[in-house]
Amino acid sequence: MSTESHLCEAAAFDEAARAAVYAAIFSRRDVRSQFTDRPVDEALLTRLLRAAHHAPSVGFMQPWNFLVIRDGGVKAQVQAAFARANAEAEAMFPEDRRPLYSALKLQGITDAPVNLCITCDRTRGGEVVLGRTHNRDMDLYSTVCAVQNLWLAARAEGVGVGWVSIFHDTDLRAILGLPDHVVPVAYLCIGHVDQLYDQPELQVKGWRDRLPLEDLVFRDRWEQR
């Protein structure tokens, strides 16, 4: 069969479908506090993982694995690793920022019914990977694309996702038993939500504002403004 027979129509979506995609993009939030107790069933979780698995990957490397964590003992260890790192983090901020920093809830590890670690196997696909010959980090970037696919699918399913990044890499590796060639790219808290903030939580709570898009767009090359 010729490869051209695999080409098919790729029209723009109709207005309602286009609006649905933008709604997922604009209403998606980084969730820490809104998880409900409702269990996340396996069929739903598999739909989310399938969305992640259909992310683009360099050289079709598909470097990701999905560690689905429901065990309370593992969650408790991860929570403790977060608490240690977060205490260090707080001390790094200027004194006037510390009260607000410590008032922010930055994770929902034990609140969320499911935790998910998405990893990147840096050896998958062998020594030389198409498209990764000149930028070794393309496999990590592919893995992040999988995270974002899952995040948007989750929004459409009424499921909230929060990305927790305040860990020592060595702690997470030890708890999850990761081999050296595997990088824990994202640690996600996942659960059903009934409510979300209408803007990013860090904006609602006065940490930082959204930048004007027009200030970020340049023409043809970098501009000094």
Q: How far apart are CA 107 and CA 166, in angstroms?
A: 9
- In the chain, the amino acid numbered 222 is W
Q: How far is the CB of 162 from a second copy (least distance, A)?
A: 10
Binding residue count for a second copy, defined by CB under 8 A: 122
Q: Toward a second copy, which CB reaches closer, 80 or 130? A: 130
Please report how close the Cβ of residue 80 comes to a second copy at its closest, in angstroms: 15
| CA diameter of the chain | 67
Which lies closer to a second copy via its Cβ, residue 79 or residue 200? 200
With binding defined as CB under 8 A, does residue 123 bind a second copy? no
Q: Which residues ranging from 21 to 50 are in contact with a second copy (CB under 8 A)?
A: 21-30, 34, 46-47, 49-50
Tell me if 158 sits within 8 A of 40, measured CB to CB.
no
The correct pick among 38, 80, 102, 165 for binding a second copy (CB under 8 A) is: 165
222 binds a second copy (CB under 8 A): yes
Q: State the CB neighbour count (10 A cutoff) for residue 85.
A: 18
Nearer to a second copy, 3 or 37 (CB): 3
Name every residue whose Cβ is closer than 8 Å to that of residue 32 and which is 6 or more positions away in sequence: 105, 106, 107, 108, 162, 189, 201
Compute the distance between CA of residue 152 and CA of residue 30 in angstroms, rounded to an integer: 11
Residues 6+ apart with CB under 8 A from 95: none
* Member of 109, 112, 178, 190 binding a second copy (CB under 8 A): 178
Q: Which of 85, 97, 62 is nearest to 187 (CA)?
A: 85
CA distance 176 to 81: 12
Site for a second copy in 44-103 (CB under 8 A): 46-47, 49-51, 53-56, 58-62, 64-71, 74, 85, 88-89, 92-94, 101
Minimum Å gap between C-beta 37 and a second copy is 16
